[in-house]
Amino acid sequence: MSRPSADVPAPAVLAAVLDRLPDGVGVLDGDGTICYVNAAGAGLLGSRPAQLLGRVLWEAVPELADTVFSAFLLHARRVGTPVTWRGFHAPAGRWLTVTAEVVGDLLHVRVAPAGGGDSAAGPAGSGSAGDDDPGALRFLTEVFEALSGTLDTTESAHRLARFVVPRLADWATVTVLGEDGAPARSARAHRSPERLADVDTYLAGRVSAPRDRSSLTAALLSGEPVQLTSIDPEFGAPSLPNRAVRDAWRRLDPTSCLFVPLQSRGEPIGVLSLVTCGSRPPHSEAEIATAVEVARRGALALDNARLYGRQLEVAETLQHSLLTPPPQPPGLEIAVRYRPASTHALVGGDWYDAFRQEDGATLLVIGDVVGHNVAAAAAMAQLRSAVRTLAYDSPGSPARTLDRVDRVLTGLAVGTLATALVARVDLPAADGTHTLRWSSAGHVPPLLVRREGTVQVLDAPPERLLGTHEPLPHTDHEACVRPGDTVVLVTDGLVEAGRMGIDEGLERLTGALAELGGLPVDALCDRLLSRIVPHRADDDIAVLAVRCTGPAD
């Protein structure tokens, strides 16, 4: 009689067997959803199987997110071969050895207790760099904090290179790609300062880099780390063109290398290269997991810096196109200054303008759109263009110009609310004096600094701002400007600097102008800003100063 074939155990029987194991067992799908976990595995996570099944691991156990352990699991899914990690799991309060392997589309994870509590006593060859102990977690936190502390791409790259040496490499390079995909910035660090010169010689003198190999480039573009567990002495020979570069390569003595892609928002932005030298072993799976997590955090900081750099370039271009240098008409000297409230965008809602009209008179404009950011700058650009176009195309009194601008803002539904002051400096009379005509739409009054040092605030009853949709017309005012006198127009950011009230601010401003009025107009503007706003401004500031240089009486 033949023996019956053994039946395959039912799933319930298998589950019962797994639930009796002292080791934790779990299965995750491609999204990190927990498809199965036994009682021991759930217990290590401080939960029960029923509370975890069907939930994404990082949502079910938030303390695991953004750790070396999470990076290890992601790495295990990418490589597709069994990998092992050893580290301290804080929720369980114990050291664990975790093995993960992709089977089909699922990630099988086995967790077993590991003896010892010394962070340096990892698996053979693993070192301590990848252990999920408090030191490793502090390391990852320090990396992120250091990189997020600057918005300069080059400085971020240098900080990243310095942080991974010597913990993850003997020397490292960070390459950041430009807009065209070619390397645009690079940084390097070496554990021995005396070897930095060799690193620089090699980087500057090599004909090609390892990343230029098509297979390696394809892997990096896919987001996968690439490891060279050994480097043949002749590995770099084809790219070493002369003896100096070859000698530098020999002194560096590279023995293995790990290339980790820097990706942000799903796009490659660079490469982190980690090189080991001499007797240091190749990177362990735990160290690779740490490097992947470091690269993820580093890429986020680098990309933020790149985005800020782009915004800065746009802001600078906009500023230069709008806040143009003033003309220098005969008999007048004009100086302008602009200081933004924020160092993160070099433009805002304040603006100045000065240009000559067809009859030879000089028109001065200063204004302030609500806000001090790029949006305010865009509104300011529309308003500045409207004032300039209407004032030049149909010359008239300053009040008439403001009324026409206001009608344009209302008719086109621009939605901009702003203060503005338009002033016209007529051609000089026979005695060298100029007539100053101005009109204000709720703006700070002009200040007239007499050549003898007195300061007159050309105050007038307040009138409505631009964009209020009220039909009341604006009013013209006049003053006589003599040779040696200076007209100073400012925005309220200078008057109210330091959160000072408008009256107190004007008093402070007149006092400063009385002392500085004798300086050349460029020096006058600089000293005025440095005296009243020695540090970062609370609001945007624009200053326009005009001095009459005609012959004295």
Rounded distance between C-alpha atoms, residue 354 and residue 336, angstroms? 9
Rounded distance between C-alpha atoms, residue 295 and residue 297, angstroms? 5
List phi, psi (to 5°) of 102.
Answer: -85, 125
Q: Are residues 163 and 307 in the same domain?
A: yes
Q: Are residues 161 and 292 in the same domain?
A: yes
Rounded distance between C-alpha atoms, residue 349 and residue 371, angstroms? 6
Q: Are residues 446 and 512 in the same domain?
A: yes
CB 298 within 8 A of CB 261: no
List phi, psi (to 5°) of 170.
Answer: -80, -35
Answer yes or no: is 262 within a domain.
yes
Tokens representing 509? 């401003």
CB 419 within 8 A of CB 368: yes
Q: Which of 343, 353, 338, 352 is nearest to 373 (CA)?
A: 343
Tokens 């007149």 locate to 510
**Mean predicted lDDT score pLDDT of the chain:** 81
Q: Are residues 245 and 341 in the same domain?
A: no
Identify the domain boundary among 75, 91, 120: 120
Answer yes or no: is 169 within a domain.
yes
Please report the DSSP string for 431-472 in residue order: TS-EEEEEEEESPPPPEEE-TTS-EEE------PPBTS---P
Q: Are residues 336 and 405 in the same domain?
A: yes
Q: Are residues 347 and 477 in the same domain?
A: yes
Q: What pLDDT score does 411 carry?
A: 83
Q: What pLDDT score does 325 carry?
A: 85
Task: Over range 136-152, report the average pLDDT.
Answer: 67
Instruction: Give the three-state DSSP class for 42.
Output: helix
Answer yes or no: is 425 within a domain.
yes
Answer yes or no: is 126 within a domain.
no
Gyration radius from the chain CA atoms: 35
CATH classification at residue 19: 3.30.450.20
CATH classification at residue 224: 3.30.450.40
Q: Are residues 234 and 375 in the same domain?
A: no
Identify the domain boundary among 59, 85, 120: 120
Please report the DSSP string for 114-157 in residue order: -----TT--STTT-STT--SHHHHHHHHHHHHHHHT---HHHHH
Answer yes or no: is 278 within a domain.
yes
Rounded distance between C-alpha atoms, residue 295 and residue 50, angstroms? 35
Q: Are residues 350 and 307 in the same domain?
A: no
CB 61 within 8 A of CB 48: no
C-alpha dist (Å) from residue 5 to 13, 14, 359, 491? 18, 18, 110, 93
Answer yes or no: is 362 within a domain.
yes
Residues written for the chain: 553
Q: Are residues 111 and 68 in the same domain?
A: yes
CB 476 within 8 A of CB 538: no
User: CA 464, 466, 468: angle at the middle one, nearest 5?
Assistant: 70
Q: What pLDDT score does 425 carry?
A: 95
- pLDDT, tens digit, for every residue of 459-490? 999 899 998 888 789 999 999 999 999 999 99
- Kindly tell me if the per-residue pLDDT of 544 is higher than 60: yes
Please report the DSSP string for 56-125 in residue order: BHHHHSGGGTTSHHHHHHHHHHHH-S-EEEEEEETTTTEEEEEEEEEETTEEEEEEEE-----TT--STT
Identify the domain boundary among 255, 280, 314: 314
pLDDT band at 237 (very low <50, low <70, confident <90, very high): low
Answer yes or no: is 203 within a domain.
yes
CB 32 within 8 A of CB 52: no
Q: What pLDDT score does 218 carry?
A: 65
Q: Which of 404, 350, 353 is nearest to 379 (CA)?
A: 350
User: What percent of the chain is predicted at pLDDT more than 70?
Assistant: 79
Q: What pLDDT score does 117 carry?
A: 39
User: CA 365, 439, 525: angle at the middle one, nearest 5?
Assistant: 40
- Kindly tell me if the per-residue pLDDT of 552 is higher than 50: no
- Kindly tell me if the per-residue pLDDT of 249 is higher than 50: yes
Rounded distance between C-alpha atoms, residue 365 and residue 220, angstroms? 54
What pTM value is reported for the model? Answer: 0.54
Q: Which domain holds residue 161?
A: 135-314
Tokens 């290890």 locate to 72
CATH classification at residue 362: 3.60.40.10
Tokens 């070619």 locate to 182
Residues 6+ apart with CB under 8 A from 194: none
- pLDDT, tens digit, for every residue of 370-379? 766 667 777 8
Rounded distance between C-alpha atoms, residue 69 and residue 62, angstroms? 12
- The number of domains in the chain is 3
- pLDDT, tens digit, for every residue of 171-216? 999 988 876 656 667 889 999 988 999 998 988 888 776 655 665 6
Q: What pLDDT score does 126 carry?
A: 36
Q: What pLDDT score does 452 carry?
A: 92
Please give the torsion angle defined by the CA atoms of residues 159, 160, 161 and 163, in that order, rounded to the nearest 10 degrees. Answer: 80
CB 437 within 8 A of CB 446: no
Q: Are residues 266 and 284 in the same domain?
A: yes
Answer yes or no: is 130 within a domain.
no
- pLDDT, tens digit, for every residue of 32-51? 899 999 988 888 877 888 88
Q: Are residues 291 and 328 in the same domain?
A: no
Q: Which of 162, 166, 159, 163 is nearest to 128 (CA)?
A: 166
Rounded distance between C-alpha atoms, residue 264 and residue 253, angstroms? 32
- pLDDT, tens digit, for every residue of 316-359? 666 667 778 899 999 999 999 988 775 555 567 888 999 999 88
Most confident of 68-82, 302-316, 480-494: 480-494
Q: What pLDDT score does 515 carry?
A: 92
Q: What single-letter amino acid sits at 135? A: G
Q: Are residues 38 and 104 in the same domain?
A: yes
Q: Which residue has the higher pLDDT, 179 or 243?
A: 243
List phi, psi (to 5°) of 318.
Answer: -65, -40
